[in-house]
Structure 1
Amino acid sequence: MSVPPSPSPTAGPAPGAAPLPRTPDATRRSDRSRRAILDAALALVGEVGYNKLTIEAIAARAGVGKQTIYRWWSSKAAVLLDASLALAGDAGTAAQWAGFPDTGDLAADLKHVLRATVDEFNDEKYEAPARALTAAGATDPALGARFTEQLLEPQLALYETRLRAAREAGQLAPDADLRLTVELLLGPLTYRWLLRTAPLTHAYADALVDAVLGGAAAGSRSGS
């Protein structure tokens, strides 16, 4: 381990002299402003909805100039996407997320994660920005691509990794399509949430896992 160099004899004020003024930490100030903007976007989209959300309102709530926002983001949708990414990161930290569980019991692991997804969908803090981004991504191809690449694909990849381990352990059919299995798990859940066709419950999440794994494991049972 290297030792930090000793300070130069000329560094700092002379004994008895007034202390040097502190140099403002521009990076820290930028981080604070950025976080204030993201928090403001999340709060406002829940209060007024996406259609009435404006850059001006976000700037006012965050206590920054409008140009500060445009220096980092091109649109309110882009702000909201980064806010959602930050929110997901905060949630993972708060829950001490250590990765997709692998207890050896695939059904239990999937039910654990899907139940957490149900809780998130039912949380107003997550629901408003998620609905806004879903709608905005449908009409803005560039935003939709970012939404998929940065928010959705990393989550889907975690499911696929867990399912791949189960397939290698013989818990799924050798030819089980991992992406299709993930979509069969999450598709009905998202459909029910998006269209509000029925309540989202833990029981529904459990039923999805049982139904999907019943089909995905059939090939494994018949081949044994």
Structure 2
Amino acid sequence: MTKAPHRRGADRTEAIMRTTLELGQEIGYARLSMEGVAARAGAGKQTIYRRWSSKGALLLDSLLSLHEPALDYPDTGDVVADLRTQIHAAVDLLAGPPFGPLFTALIGEAQYDPRVAAALNERLIAPQAAKTVERLQAARDRGQLSEAFDLDLAMAILSGPLYFQLLITQEPLTHAYVDRVLDALFTGLGPISRAAGR
């Protein structure tokens, strides 16, 4: 029994994406090319170019379609512990093996390719930012955070140092660094006591 055409197409797409990740891990993003992927996957170049506009778009789809990050927040009642759990998982994804260097390269590529930037924001960054704000909102509703603090700003303050470390200084992005960022942020995010406000 032969496979339906749409299933064969899906199998071919998955094979191309798996090849992209394998080749990217072997030779790095800078040397990755659409032609190299086509040759390794046994696919025509036009097949790949019809589906993906650039190697950045191909890598993004490969990473997020085959390895969709499981970065949902727990809700234990302790907002700092929950943020720590989720951000540690994000750091492991973005900075650790096996795909850390490819994610880092993809974030860099987004600075030059507006389509990659838009797709990265739509599929990864915006959903994660919304989950973070939602978790912070739940904590604020419980009186664990200052009512006056801007939660979107809190999200930016929380993520900014991580991207700075990952992309600008290129120093190791570690759990210990995440913990330092959280400690610094929540010193200012905490609720203000009535006595302190007088």
Aligned to 2:173: 200
Q: What is aligned with 2:3?
A: 24
The Cα shift of 1:177 comes to 1.1
Q: Is the 8 A contact 1:172 1:220 kept in 2?
A: no
Q: Structure 1 residue aligned with 2:47, among 32, 53, 68? A: 68
1:119 matched to 2:92: yes
Name the counterpart of 1:179.
152
Residues 33 and 138 (structure 1), Cα distance of their counterparts in 2 relative to 1, 3 Å cut: same
Asked if residue 47 in structure 1 is aligned to residue 26 in structure 2, the reply is yes
Query: Cα gap change, 1:77/1:200 in structure 2, threshold over 3 Å: closer, same or farther?
Result: closer
Out of 100-109 and 45-54, give the one that drifted further: 45-54
Cα 1:180–1:55 shift into 2, 3 Å: same
Whole-Å separation in 1 of the counterparts to 2:106 and 2:47: 22
Mapped pair 1:33 → 2:16 = no
CA separation in 1, counterparts of 2:98 and 2:87? 18
Contact 2:94 2:104 in 1 (8 A): no
**1:143-186 Cα deviation digits (max 9, x unpaired):** 21221122210111110110011111111111211121112222
Identity among equivalent pairs (%): 43
Aligned residue identity for 1:112: T
Deviation at 1:223?
5.8
State how far apart, in whole Å, the 1-side matches of 2:15 and 2:66 are. 13
1-structure distance, mates of 2:165, 2:149? 25
Question: Counterpart in 2 of 1:148?
Answer: 121
Q: Aligned AA for 2:137?
A: R
The answer (yes or no) to whether the contact 1:41–1:79 under 8 Å persists in 2 is yes
Please say which structure displays the higher CA radius of gyration: 1
* Residue 85 (1) aligns with residue 69 (2): no
In the alignment, residue 124 of structure 1 is paired with which amino acid? P
Q: Secondary structure at the match of 2:153?
A: helix
Q: Which runs of 5+ in 1 are unaligned?
A: 1-21
Does residue 79 of structure 2 align to residue 100 of structure 1? no
What is the alpha-carbon distance in structure 1 between the residues aligned to residue 179 and residue 155 of structure 2? 14
1:15-47 Cα deviation digits (max 9, x unpaired) = xxxxxxx34322221111111111111222222
1:48-99: per-residue Cα shift (whole Å, max 9, x none)? 222321111111222222122122112211111111212441x53xxxx6x3
Q: Does 1:57 align with 2:36?
A: yes
Structure 2 gaps, min length 5: none
RMSD between aligned alpha carbons?
2.1
> What's the TM-score, normalizing by structure 2?
0.89
One-letter code aligned to 2:163? T
Structure 2 distance, partners of 1:197, 1:159, is 24
